[in-house]
Structure 1
Amino acid sequence: MDKYYRKRLVPLLLPAMILFIMVILIPFGIGVIYSFCGWRGTYFAGGDHFYDAFVGFQNYIKVFKSSKFRDSFVYTLEFTVIAVIALNIVSLIMALLATSVHKGAGAYRTIYFMPNLLGGLALGYIWQFIFEIVFSQLIFNKDGIINIPFFCNMLQDRYKAMIALAILVTWQMAGYMMLIYTTGLNNIPTDLSEAAAIDGANVFQRFRYITIPMLMPSFTIVFFLTLSKCFMLLDPNVALTDGNFNTRLLAMQILRTTKDTNPPDYGLAQAQAVIFFLLIAAVTLTQVVVTKKKEVEM
């Protein structure tokens, strides 16, 4: 079987390589070129071709001078920090609970994973109903079950909406990340914990000095996935607030740029997309390098 794949490696990879080049690389390259042009979506400002509408770094200068882009950048960073921390804590706790159960463990994992099957605008509108109707009018208002003003009208405040978005993302993604942590926990040799217990280490000491170091490969994967997905979040942001109350994430800022400019400046939006790509690449690659160095051999 190995000889078969070695002889036919190129023919087997060729369809995927062609698709990757046609769907990813070529559009990305065109987008980078258009980010240096006065592109209006259906025409170029200044001529019939992109080189006639070349504006140099003017679009990038406009991006860094834009208060909307800076605000959305800061908001995205704040949201990502909160969401990544919450996601990792919740998913790790779920994984520890799932691995401690022997009967029905598969059912628990399936139930935890099911929210990840939902997504897009539909999930956002479901949680919009929960925050606006269930939380604000039925449970947490002064006439509800318990009066907690913070949970009322969460989508009408910049920072409360950030918490609401973090709750949504954690609810959706924690089950998927739990599976990664569960796999890592199952790969930790039990004799290490048993030996530490015999030497007098308590539960918290074993978790700190054995479980966490041995879980670093799982931390690397989970941090990479959560960081990249939180930075690129769009649909829930659209569904919950639609960017109102100064709650635009970077992905929505790029989407709304063509509506904020007249005529629609697609070149400016594309420049933001290129900066967005470089930002995500820098953050995620740095995270992978840092967490990789902390991994230990089993």
Structure 2
Amino acid sequence: MELFYKKWSKILAIPAVLLFTMVILIPFVIGVIYSFTGWRGTYFAGGENWWQALVGFDNYVKVFKSENFTTAFLYTLKFTGIAVISVNIASLIISMMLTNISRGAGLLRAIFYMPNLLSGLALGFIWQFIFQIVYSKIFFGENGIFPIEALTNMTQSSTKAMFALVIMVTWQMAGYMMMIYVNGLNNIPKDLYEAANIDGANFFQKFKNITLPMLMPSFTVVFFLTISGCFRLLDQNIALTNGNFGTRMLALQILQTTKDTNPPNYGLAQAQAVIFFILIAAVSLVQVSMMKKKEVEA
């Protein structure tokens, strides 16, 4: 059987390689080339072909001079930092609770996982209703059950909208990350906890010296998924605020660039997309490298 797989593996991989090349690799290379041109979507400014419309690094210079891009970058950075912490804490707490439940654990896992099945746009519109109606008028409004002004009009302020996005993303992603943590917790040998109980260790000592070190492989995966996912957030940003009130994130900034420029400067938008890709790749690689070292130390 092993010889069969070795003989046919390369042939069977051809469709996947061709699909990856045509759908991802070739468009990516074309996009990088177009980022150095005066591409306007349907034509090239300065010539009929891309090599006649080359503008060098002008698009990239404009990106770094753009106040909109800088604002979106900083907003995305702050949101990602808060969201990654929130998602990991919530998913870890839920997973630890579920691993200690004997009855109904499967049902609860399914319930917590369900928000991850919703599309970003649907999720955004659901939470827009919650923040505008449930939060602002029913619970926390001036005439609400618990009048708390800070929790009203969550989508109409840059700071409030950031925490609204964090709440929404945590609700969506925690269930998926929970499954990874549950798998990691189930792989921890029970003998370690039994030995710790014999030595008189309390919950926090067991969590610090056993759970955290043994969960490092899970942390690596979850941090990678949450960081990359938060940086690439688009649908939820569109549905919740559409970038209004200074809440435009990087992915939405790239999308809106063609509307902010007249005629639409697709070359400039593509330059932002290339920078966006490099940024996500760099952050993800650094994070994975650091977490891998922690795995070895643990």
1:97-246 correspondence runs (5 A): 97-246=97-246
Counterpart amino acid of residue 96 in structure 2? L
CA contact (8 A) 1:234 1:251 kept: yes
CA contact (8 A) 1:184 1:218 kept: yes
Displacement of 1:200 after TM fit? Answer: 2.0
Runs of 4+ in 1 over 6 A off after TM superposition: none
The percent of aligned pairs where both chains have the same amino acid is 66
Displacement of 1:3 after TM fit? Answer: 2.2
2:56 is aligned with 1:56: yes
Counterpart amino acid of residue 176 in structure 1? Y
Counterpart amino acid of residue 188 in structure 2? I
| Distance in 2 separating the partners of 1:2 and 1:247 | 54
| Distance in 2 separating the partners of 1:142 and 1:117 | 35
Counterpart amino acid of residue 11 in structure 1? I
| Distance in 1 separating the partners of 2:142 and 2:72 | 33
| Distance in 2 separating the partners of 1:57 and 1:297 | 43
Secondary structure in 2 matching 1:42: coil
Deviations for 1:21-71, whole angstroms, at most 9, x for unmatched residues?
A: 000000000000000000000000011100000000000000000000000
Question: What is the Cα-based RMSD across aligned positions, in Å?
Answer: 1.0
| Distance in 2 separating the partners of 1:168 and 1:5 | 44
Change (3 A) 1:276 1:293: same
| Distance in 1 separating the partners of 2:297 and 2:77 | 33
CA contact (8 A) 1:213 1:296 kept: no
Q: Tell me which residue corresponds to 1:15.
A: 15
Counterpart amino acid of residue 294 in structure 1? K
Instruction: Please report the TM-score for the alignment, with normalisation by the length of structure 2.
Output: 0.99
CA contact (8 A) 1:121 1:238 kept: yes
Counterpart amino acid of residue 132 in structure 1? Q
2:259 is aligned with 1:259: yes
Counterpart amino acid of residue 132 in structure 2? E
Change (3 A) 1:77 1:297: closer
Question: Which deviates more, 246-255 or 142-151?
Answer: 142-151
Change (3 A) 1:254 1:149: same
Secondary structure in 1 matching 2:108: helix
Deviations for 1:85-112, whole angstroms, at most 9, x for unmatched residues?
A: 0000000000001100011111111111
Secondary structure in 2 matching 1:155: coil
Displacement of 1:296 after TM fit? Answer: 4.5
Counterpart amino acid of residue 261 in structure 1? T
| Distance in 1 separating the partners of 2:126 and 2:112 | 18
| Distance in 2 separating the partners of 1:250 and 1:110 | 32
| Distance in 2 separating the partners of 1:67 and 1:197 | 57
| Distance in 2 separating the partners of 1:242 and 1:7 | 52
Displacement of 1:5 after TM fit? Answer: 1.4
CA contact (8 A) 1:76 1:231 kept: yes
Question: Which deviates more, 108-117 or 272-281?
Answer: 108-117
Unaligned runs of 5+ in 2: none
| Distance in 1 separating the partners of 2:210 and 2:165 | 33
Counterpart amino acid of residue 85 in structure 1? I
Q: Tell me which residue corresponds to 1:26.
A: 26
Alignment length (residue pairs)? 298
| Distance in 2 separating the partners of 1:129 and 1:104 | 31
CA contact (8 A) 1:154 1:160 kept: yes
Displacement of 1:2 after TM fit? Answer: 2.3
Counterpart amino acid of residue 85 in structure 2? I
CA contact (8 A) 1:258 1:265 kept: yes
Secondary structure in 2 matching 1:154: coil
Displacement of 1:297 after TM fit? Answer: 8.5
